[in-house]
A and B are shown apart, each in its own frame.
Chain A
Amino acid sequence: MKLQTATRLALYAVMALSREPERQFSTAELAERFDVSEHHLAKVLRTLGRAELVEAVRGAGGGFRFSANPKRVTLLEVIALFEDITSPPGPKEPGVRTHEGKALGAVLAEIDDVARATLGSITLATLHRSATRR
């Protein structure tokens, strides 16, 4: 599975922030850690902020901190803010109404179904624990 860059950055950001929820991270610090531009990351953080997963802290030493419950937030919830990984091809896409298109579509829908269930079952807390176990 390939996620868009913004989606992966959002997942990295919520993982980093939820791992140390009492800490504030500046955009610059996170951008350096993930080797991306501050501008790109700021857009991602704004979207996460609108979803109330992170909050901006103003003033000296300000930045962003995690503001949700890591035991409740799943990977699917974060991904869904940036892209729809399980959208079927639109009816106007070439070939989808053919025998071949329908057969392939059924297989892809099956894969999407498993992906959605898997991503919806893994919370940030579980992800942190699994990284510790390894």
Chain B
Amino acid sequence: MAAADPSPPIQVRKAKPQDLAVVVALDAAVTGVKKPDYWRDRLRQFAGRDPERLFLVAEAEGQVVGFILGEIRAWEFGSPPSGWIFAINVAKGARLDGVGTRLFEAICAHFTAAGVDRVRTMIAKDDPLVMRFFRSQGMVAGPFIELEKVLP
């Protein structure tokens, strides 16, 4: 019996302006909305030289198959500086190949090198896929609870 095709090697690198189209497409595949202006701004703000902001993409066989964004937020809610992840996305056809894990590990390595000792994120309760992913990476409930109020 022939062995299953191994997953292609994954490379993680900093995002470039040329990645805009694929980032927009990956996001739209999940949200159903194309937001080129939003992602152009995010690329400009997070893929530049600011050492506390990071926009990484994962490539498999030369194709961008996922991305992750994060930054170091200082003293938010009175907490010492910590890494924050606020977007992660992996192309449907590349899921379960370790792409998300590679992106997560890469951004965590960056946070660690920058001197922070924990990483945080916020997830919609009705998004079990993303919550299961972050749980599988060892993330657990932290000391904060998000609250909100509908304004009149």
Residues of A at under 8 Å CB distance from B?
A: 71, 74, 113-114, 117-118, 120-123, 125-126, 129-130, 133
Contacts and interface: CB of A to CB of B under 8 A. Distances in A.
B128 A121 contact: yes
Q: Is the interface of A mostly helix, strand, loop or mixed?
A: helix
B125 interface: yes
Contacts of A118: 141
Interface of B: 125-126, 128, 131-132, 135-136, 138, 140-141
Contacts, number: 30
Contact of B131 (A71, A113, A117, A133): A117
B136 A125 contact: yes
B138 A113 contact: no
Given A123-B136, A125-B136, A129-B136, 19 more contacts: A71-B136, A74-B128, A74-B132, A113-B125, A114-B125, A117-B126, A117-B128, A117-B131, A120-B131, A121-B128, A121-B131, A121-B132, A121-B135, A122-B132, A122-B135, A123-B135, A126-B136, A129-B138, A130-B140
A32 B136 CA distance: 30
Contacts of B132: 74, 121-123, 126
Contacts of A114: 125
A133 B138 contact: yes
